[in-house]
Structure 1
Amino acid sequence: MSAKWRKQVKKWITDKMELPADVTLDLPRITMIGQIHIYIENHKGLLAFSDIEVRLLLKQGQLLIKGEGLVIKVILPEEIVLEGKINQVVYLEE
């Protein structure tokens, strides 16, 4: 089964069964509270961290969070909670 066909089948199942896309398509779920708190689920690992930038690996691409005074509050294998002043969240494709 080709990867393209598999992706189309997953999308069709997600649409028809009204399942959350983050679960069936392996997408990250990002929850922000204002500009001070961000919760990211379904990432594949921490690539870089500083008080101004965090870079996470995703199944497809990367997620870049830029800000000031960034602190990791919680880190688990597929979840992370950051606090600080979040200025930018950017999805970087492969």
Structure 2
Amino acid sequence: MEYYKNKSDYSGYEKHECGEAVKRIRQQIKRQSELIGNNLRTNYLGDDLENFITARDVLLDELVEHSDYATIAKCLEFFDKKKWYTKNSARTVGEKK
């Protein structure tokens, strides 16, 4: 995929050209997904882990195919630390199996 040589409009990546910004955002999302997956595995959350893995795989495949603003926003929302590491998150509410 070819990107513009312009600077990125995406918050936190304004100093990078579009292609480099997309590469860095993908890396950030992938790292965050791996961190959450490892944490869920550690806590033995059977169904929650399987649901996470399925959703993660779909989102990461979509991100590779279409790294547009909507897809990036969907991934960042799904892999948001607040969603996974707060008091009532799947990680803290789920039962160990």
Q: Same fold (TM over 0.5)?
A: no
> Structure with the greater relative contact order (CA < 8 A, sep ≥ 6): 1 or 2?
2
State TM-score, norm by structure 2. Answer: 0.27
Q: Could you say which structure has the higher helix fraction?
A: 2
Greater per-residue strand proportion: 1
TM-score (norm 1): 0.28
